[in-house]
A and B are shown apart, each in its own frame.
Chain A
């Protein structure tokens, strides 16, 4: 199976919360990341969390980490049309070289 797995598509209504889920296999992962890719642009680091944390909040973004289940999620509150993008989950050890999932396309409709 894949080292980092995430669903490929998520569709939400504007103003709702979006939750993008990810699972990973490497129990020695030190850092877990969420990257965002807008059309025609490169990946941009949205947020990251250390493996010894279980939650991180940054404005509308909440990252939850369940290390026991190797499950990472990204919640976007009050989702806007500008949040439409591809969201990549990734993990790394101390080398900071991420192993990426295939990305989840978030579609926000009015």
Chain B
């Protein structure tokens, strides 16, 4: 009965590879987000989708491409991984117009 789930939980890969992280929410929310928490623990918004439409796109390299096949899913694809992409990536969801966001458990990405 997990509200916001992410897969995988851990991802170790080499520089230059392409990888995807998946996120699903079963709360019926219409808005989903991706956040990045770097090694210094700064947690920053990357993208936000509302009803499958991109509404926030912070300054993120275009190697990062979010995809929302439906309102319950927001996946993050990363091309040509770099060492600096190593971080914990959190997915979250909310109902539009509501303040509270519900977070997934995070995906720890390590690029070697």
Q: Which residues of A contact B (CB under 8 A)?
A: 2, 8, 31, 40-45, 48, 88, 96-100, 102-103
Contacts and interface: CB of A to CB of B under 8 A. Distances in A.
A88 B90 CA distance: 14
A43 B101 CA distance: 9
Interface of B, helix, strand, loop or mixed by DSSP:
strand
B41 A42 contact: no
Interface of A, helix, strand, loop or mixed by DSSP:
loop
Interface string B49-60: 000000010000
Interface of B: 4, 33, 40-45, 48, 56, 90, 92, 94, 98-106
B90 A42 contact: yes
A59 B101 CA distance: 22
B94 A96 contact: yes
Nearest to A45: B100
Given A96-B99, A97-B48, A42 B105 contact: yes
B4 A42 contact: yes
Contacts of A97: 33, 45, 48, 56
A88 B103 CA distance: 13
B41 A102 contact: yes
B101 A98 contact: yes
Contacts of B48: 97
B45 to A, nearest CB: 6
27 contacts: A2-B42, A8-B41, A40-B105, A41-B105, A42-B4, A42-B90, A42-B92, A42-B102, A42-B103, A42-B106, A43-B90, A43-B92, A43-B101, A44-B102, A45-B100, A48-B99, A48-B100, A88-B43, A96-B94, A96-B98, A96-B99, A97-B45, A98-B101, A99-B44, A100-B44, A103-B41, A103-B43
